[in-house]
């Protein structure tokens, strides 16, 4: 496989992504929701800080508060990841694409690589804007990029959103259906992992799910959740989930007919 072929595949995938209108609005929605909700919750937290218990004040994490909209914003990133992979299956163009690029590994790599770079750029810009606007809303309770762990958390916020997108692409490569993929991923990340991660009976299992583990990267103040890993440990767990999803997607693509 020559570099020229890889470049052609990357250009082709970039053209496909640009031609789909939903690309812009899903990424834009992810940014708007994350920033707006983070700003709103930061403003509410600043106003209610004096009425918090002493324990809540001591464990108050201004950086994490500004990322309160990530949980909802990530759903739009999931939609983006699903649509990038499933669009060709929905339209039947997958046969044409695989005929043009019979090396299925190269085909999937090109699709994931282009979408990941685009998601990373949007996620990083969103993460920094979310932080700065959120801190402005927090007023006297704000953090700065120079505070311990804050820069790591802000960069981690962008990486988290990117990994969510990549995980969604891997799962969609397995399922191939946008309806089935969204029907599994949306409730999984919006409801199931949050429930399992907070209920005492399932917490030890739930804390190893990708979003529960990866979300640790955005924390700067230690909590008493007894998770056996730190911010980078949790991020590593999430990365392993992403690798597993993409590998599974590649194996499925190779073994199944278009």
**For the segment 98-135, what is each residue's pLDDT rounded down to a tens digit?**
777 778 888 889 999 999 999 999 999 999 999 999 99
Say how far apart CA 67 and CA 160 lie, in whole Å: 11
* Cβ-contact 220, 153 below 8 angstroms: yes
Please give the average per-residue pLDDT across 21-25, as a whole number: 82
Q: Residue 123 phi/psi, 5° resolution?
A: -65, -40
pLDDT band at residue 239 using 50, 70 and 90 as cut-offs = very high
In the chain, the percentage of residues whose pLDDT exceeds 70 is 98
pLDDT at residue number 142:
93
**pLDDT on residue 13:** 84
pLDDT of residue 106: 85
**pLDDT the model gives residue 258:** 57
Instruction: Assign 27 a pLDDT band (cuts: 50, 70, 90).
Output: very high
pLDDT tops 60 at residue 156: yes
- Computed over every residue of the chain, the mean pLDDT equals 91
* Rounded mean pLDDT, 25-32: 94
Q: Is the dihedral of CA 6, 10, 16, 19 positive or negative?
A: negative
| Alpha-carbon dihedral angle through residues 217, 222, 228, 234, given to the nearest 10 degrees | 0
Give the Cβ contact number of residue 10 at 10 Å: 17
pLDDT of residue 87: 84
Res 249: pLDDT: 94
pTM above 0.75, yes or no: yes
Q: What is the pLDDT of residue 199?
A: 83
- 159-212 pLDDT, tens per residue? 999 999 999 999 999 998 999 999 999 999 988 998 888 887 788 888 999 999
Q: Is the pLDDT reported for residue 252 higher than 70?
A: yes
Asked whether the predicted pLDDT for residue 1 surpasses 70, the reply is no
Q: Using CA atoms in the order 103, 98, 15, 29, what is the torsion angle rounded to 10 degrees?
A: -100
Query: H/E element holding 18?
Result: helix 3-19
Per-residue confidence band for 230, with pLDDT thresholds at 50, 70 and 90: very high
Q: Give residue-wise pLDDT tens across range 70-92.
A: 999 999 999 999 999 988 887 77
The span from the first CA to the last CA of the chain, in angstroms, equals 22
Please, which pLDDT band fits residue 257 given cuts at 50, 70 and 90? low
């Amino acid at each position: 496989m020559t570099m020229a072929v890889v470049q052609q595949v990357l250009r082709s995938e970039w053209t496909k992504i640009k031609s789909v209108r939903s690309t812009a609005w899903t990424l834009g929605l992810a940014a708007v929701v994350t920033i707006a909700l983070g700003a709103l919750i930061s403003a509410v937290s600043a106003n209610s800080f004096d009425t918090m218990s002493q324990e809540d004040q001591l464990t108050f994490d201004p950086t994490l508060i500004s990322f309160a909209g990530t949980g909802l914003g990530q759903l739009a990133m999931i939609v983006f990841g699903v649509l990038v992979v499933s669009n060709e299956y929905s339209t039947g163009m997958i046969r044409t694409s695989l005929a043009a690029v019979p090396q299925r590994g190269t085909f999937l790599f090109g699709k994931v690589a282009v979408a990941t770079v685009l998601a990373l750029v949007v996620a990083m810009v969103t993460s920094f804007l979310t932080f700065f606007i959120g801190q402005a809303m927090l007023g006297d309770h704000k953090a700065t990029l120079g505070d311990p762990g804050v820069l790591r958390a802000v960069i981690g916020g962008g990486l988290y959103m990117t990994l969510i997108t990549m995980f969604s692409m891997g799962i969609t490569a397995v399922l191939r259906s946008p309806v089935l993929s969204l029907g599994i991923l949306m409730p999984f990340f919006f409801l199931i992992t949050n429930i399992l991660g907070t209920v005492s009976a399932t917490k030890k299992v739930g804390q190893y799910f990708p979003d529960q583990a990866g979300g640790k990267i955005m924390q700067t103040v230690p909590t008493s959740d007894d998770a056996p890993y730190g911010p980078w440990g949790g991020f590593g767990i999430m990365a392993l989930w992403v690798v597993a999803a993409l590998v599974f997607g590649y194996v499925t693509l190779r073994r199944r007919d278009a």
